[in-house]
Amino acid sequence: MDANLFAPKYEAVRKEIAREMVGQENVVEHLLLAVIAGGNVLLEGVPGLGKTHLVRVLGKVLSLPFSRIQFTPDLMPADITGTNILVRTEEGNSFRFQPGPLFSSLVLADEINRATPKTQAALLEAMQEHSVTVAGKTMRLPEPYFVLATQNPVEQEGTYPLPEAQLDRFLFKILVPFPTLKELDGIVSLTLAPGETGGKQGAQPALTAEELLEMRALARQVPVASSVQESALKLVLATHPELPDAPEVSRKYLRFGASPRAAQAILSTARVRALEQGRFNVSYEDIRFVAPACLRHRLALNFAAVTEGKDMEQIVAELVDSYVK
């Protein structure tokens, strides 16, 4: 793909999503950056903000097979990976593999923290290796492949918090805010009556799977100046309170820091944003834009941070301001 076509293709996708999504421009932009970079995304927000609808629209616009899994405490690994079933044929009985909902390009894991650790572990292989193992046989999943998960930060009864190893597999954690008055008015108008769209045409396909993979390959070729890359790496190192040169905010408020995957996530998504902005090199502003979504789920607050009322967004913002100029 020609590099000059990247930004127009990106804008076409964004405009099609906007046909069915009111507001949430920042959420949509982060989601597209992660998808083009090839990573999984964790969407966090209270119910009713359109997280599930956004993923459905994304699948439509990207022309990708879509499946939805509603996670519940009684969901078993075989329910999502698939299982061998006994089939009666003319030659006799035989086992045939029945694929589960993980065998799709775009998988929505709704309320992922309601599944038991056993089922979450089954999802982990699909997220990281893009494969599923059933009865000792490993099967590859279709490419491109993404897991977009949602969770409710308020209702924690009957939930199983995601372990750090699984959180680290998410490229971004995107916070979905409550809509403004203007956005809320637009949502109500758009959904005023069943079947009505407020006169707006529904979202249409704007990108193929092949074009998406070409955009990803192109983004990986975007150069990063050594000084810009060093600022991203220093930012990740600054999140580790155990290091001798760790900043005071990390030593005082963090239990542990981000993994090397955080540095990979920052640089890979910053490359995508550079092309989306019409530039062919990564700037400090690109690092600043993507860093919070890459770090907020990879760090852990200590007791002092909780007692003093510090939240993760404040700490991440302070670190980004200090290390990415």
Check whether the bond before 144 is cis (ω within 30° of 0).
yes
> Which structure tokens are listed for 171?
């490229």
Instruction: Give the distance from CA 21 to its chain's centroid.
Output: 18
pLDDT at 290: 96
Distance between CA atoms of residues 259 and 239, nearest Å:
9
Nearest to 134 by CA among 69, 80, 75, 83: 83
Portions of the chain given CATH number 3.40.50.300? 1-216
Question: What average pLDDT score do residues 225-229 get?
Answer: 95
CB proximity list for 289: less than 8 A, separation 6 or greater? 270, 273
222 has pLDDT over 60:
yes
Report which of residues 93 and 8 the model is more confident about.
8
DSSP single-letter state for residue 192? S
Number of residues written out for the chain: 325
Q: Which residues pair with 249 in a beta bridge?
A: none
Task: Give the three-state DSSP class for 69.
Answer: strand
Conformational region of residue 125, where left means phi above 0, alpha means psi within -120 to 50, and beta covers everything else: alpha
pLDDT at 6: 93
Question: What average pLDDT score do residues 299-325 get?
Answer: 93
pLDDT at 197: 47
pLDDT digits (tens, 9 = 90+) for 232-281: 999 999 999 999 999 999 999 999 999 999 999 999 999 999 999 999 99
Distance between CA atoms of residues 306 and 294, nearest Å:
21
Nearest to 164 by CA among 124, 132, 125, 129: 124
Conformational region of residue 8, where left means phi above 0, alpha means psi within -120 to 50, and beta covers everything else: alpha
How many percent of the chain have pLDDT more than 70? 95
How many percent of the chain have pLDDT more than 90? 54
Q: Are 7 and 276 in contact (CB under 8 A)?
A: yes
Distance between CA atoms of residues 278 and 26, nearest Å:
18
Q: Does domain 222-325 have CATH number 1.10.8.80?
A: yes
3 has pLDDT over 90:
no
Architecture label for domain 1-216:
3-Layer(aba) Sandwich (3.40)
pLDDT digits (tens, 9 = 90+) for 58-80: 989 998 888 999 998 888 988 99
Question: What average pLDDT score do residues 294-308 get?
Answer: 94
The whole-chain average pLDDT of the chain stands at: 88
**pTM (2 decimals)?**
0.89
pLDDT at 317: 95
Task: Give the three-state DSSP class for 304.
Answer: helix
The band of 198, judged by pLDDT with boundaries at 50, 70 and 90, is very low
Helix (H) or strand (E) holding 100: none
